Amino acid sequence: MEDKIKLNIVGLTSSHSQRNSYTLILGEDNGELKLPVIIGGYEAQSIALVIEGLKPQRPLTHDLIQDFLNQYQIVLKEVIINKLEEGVFYSTLVTSMNGKEIHIDARTSDAVAIALRSKCNIYTFRSILNDAGIQYEDDDENSLDLDTQEIEQIPEPNDTLGHLSLDQLKLELDKAIQIEDYKRAALIRDKIKSLDS
């Protein structure tokens, strides 16, 4: 059996190759290779919410799956990106219930979103990393930052948040999360961060 390589999320940016999609960049632990995975906008937002620590008022699909796992005492042990065919990555959720290990096929974007919520490790195999991995030059490292603002943020016309106090902004943030307007929530969150700093 081929050794597994642990991966970490190192980037999330707009995809330059496909419209309305994003590139999730996974980097090998203690290594130089990065695995770029094209994902949809919904999955990118779901991943970004966990990274940014924003909790939706009502559960998104991946939150619902995590709640289901918890309620039925199913443990997500790990996620393995186990296959690459014609540029598409395939993944497996390795779960455990009552001592029995069960492998579930999943899209990589969904698998990563659930792994973040379960706080479990993400792996791939060396052969996949060697086939699809990219080694970024030092100049490109800045482009790998988690640019979740691109995913969630819509410019606010005339900066209507500028006149609000910190307490008012926090109330607006709560309202935006309650009505599931995560784009506005991200914008307000950034405004609060800029005032705090």
pLDDT digit string, tens, across residues 157-178? 334 676 778 888 888 887 777 7
Report the predicted TM-score, pTM, of the whole model to 2 decimal places: 0.72
- Tell me what percent of the residues of the chain surpass a pLDDT of 70: 83
- Domain 4-151 sits in CATH 3.10.690.10: yes
pLDDT in tens, 54-113: 888 888 999 999 999 999 999 999 999 999 998 899 999 999 999 999 999 999 999 999
141 pLDDT more than 70 = no
Radius of gyration, CA atoms only, the chain:
18
Q: What is the DSSP string of 107-154?
A: EHHHHHHHHHHHT-EEEEEHHHHHHH-EE--GGGGGGGSB-THHHH--
DSSP 8-state code for residue 4: E
3-state secondary structure of 160: coil
Domain positions in the chain are 4-151, 157-196
